[in-house]
């Protein structure tokens, strides 16, 4: 009996344990992973005007009433820099961020039911009027969070802990999409969409890659990511109810399988 070809599923997570975990998850679902990191982390440096990275690490402010961490990466960088959460109410967007805080020895006071900027704004809206809120995250954080907290009456300060850049070697998945050899793609942020398109353009296959994605099954981790993809002409098939990579992967692979096996 002829064996069915396996789905080829692209994952765009940073080239660390997150990409390793993505590969393992995709393989456990009976698909072939295409690990193509579209993000790399560059820690910010305090007062690093000349860009040489020699001016010390950045930490969240320590005089805030609430401190919001939005990612595992941000937690790890804050911990490495010796951040002290003090008496602040610590908020984590998502279980992975909360787990990283616990692992680093911090308490976690608030996790919104919806793992998103909108979810956290809704959770804090009635509590932060007049409060100082520190938001510590990457340089590509959504304005939904900061604008929403300000609208709720908070005094918001944002600290950029790290920058997200595209690794120069990224782009294998764009060529596979352009040639019709990619069955599914897992976009975990608007920036992964933008970097995918940049990598495709760099290879001269942007239009063909978008066409290829539109013949594949595309998953987006949340509404902002879906909106970015669709604005670029990429049809999104799956947006999981929870902004969680495992849910994104399982639902996207499940959605791709019937088409793949027709």
Please tell me whether residues 200 and 220 are part of one structural domain.
yes
Structure tokens at 153: 């009456």
Structure tokens at 175: 């060529």
pLDDT at residue number 131: 96
User: What confidence tens digit (pLDDT) does each residue in 185-201 have?
Assistant: 999 999 999 999 999 99
Q: Which is higher by pLDDT, 47 or 93?
A: 93
Backbone angles phi, psi at 131, to 5 degrees: -90, 155
Residue 228: CB partners within 8 Å, gap ≥ 6?
A: 190, 193, 194
List strands edge to edge, sheet with 40-43. 40-43, 155-165, 132-138, 66-69, 89-92
pLDDT at residue number 50: 41
Instruction: Tell me whether residue 216 is in a domain.
Output: yes
| Local confidence band at 204 (pLDDT 50, 70, 90 cut-offs) | very high
Please tell me whether residues 77 and 103 are part of one structural domain.
yes
Over 70: is that where the pLDDT of 46 sits?
no
Over 60: is that where the pLDDT of 126 sits?
yes
Distance CA(9)–CA(249), nearest Å, equals: 9
Q: Which is higher by pLDDT, 3 or 27?
A: 27
Among 192, 221, 197, 195, smallest CA distance to 209 is for 197
Please tell me whether residues 126 and 76 are part of one structural domain.
yes
Which domain CATH number covers 154? 3.40.50.10090
Please tell me whether residues 191 and 213 are part of one structural domain.
yes
| Local confidence band at 261 (pLDDT 50, 70, 90 cut-offs) | very low
- Our count of domains for the chain comes to 2
- Which domain does 190 fall in, by range? 8-38+167-256
| Of 139, 164, 189, the domain-final residue | 164
Count CA atoms within 13 Å of residue 247 on its CB side: 13
Over 90: is that where the pLDDT of 12 sits?
yes
Q: For 194-213, what is the mean pLDDT?
A: 97
What does the mean pLDDT of the chain come to? Answer: 91
């Amino acid at each position: 009996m002829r064996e069915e070809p396996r789905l080829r599923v692209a994952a765009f997570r940073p080239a660390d344990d997150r990409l390793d975990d993505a590969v393992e998850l995709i393989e456990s679902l009976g698909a072939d992973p295409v690990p193509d990191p579209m993000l790399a982390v560059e820690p910010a440096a305090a007062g690093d005007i000349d860009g040489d990275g020699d001016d010390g690490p950045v930490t969240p402010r320590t005089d805030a009433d609430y401190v919001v961490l939005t990612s595992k990466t941000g937690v790890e960088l804050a911990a490495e820099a010796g951040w002290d959460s003090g008496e602040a109410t610590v908020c984590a967007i998502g279980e992975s961020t909360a787990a990283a805080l616990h692992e680093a020895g911090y308490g976690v006071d608030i996790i919104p039911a919806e793992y998103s900027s909108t979810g956290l704004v809704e959770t804090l809206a009635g509590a932060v009027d007049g409060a100082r809120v520190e938001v510590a995250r990457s340089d590509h954080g959504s304005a939904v969070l900061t604008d929403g907290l300000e609208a709720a009456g908070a005094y918001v300060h944002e600290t950029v802990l790290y920058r997200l850049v595209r690794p120069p070697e990224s782009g294998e998945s764009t060529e596979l999409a352009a040639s019709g050899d990619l069955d599914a793609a897992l976009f975990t942020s608007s920036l992964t969409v933008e970097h995918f398109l940049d990598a495709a353009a760099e290879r001269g296959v942007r239009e063909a890659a978008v066409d290829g994605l539109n013949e594949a099954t595309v998953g987006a981790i949340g509404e902002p990511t879906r909106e970015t993809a669709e604005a670029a002409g990429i049809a999104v098939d799956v947006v999981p109810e929870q902004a969680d990579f495992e849910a994104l992967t399982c639902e996207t692979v499940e959605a791709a399988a019937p088409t793949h096996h027709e």
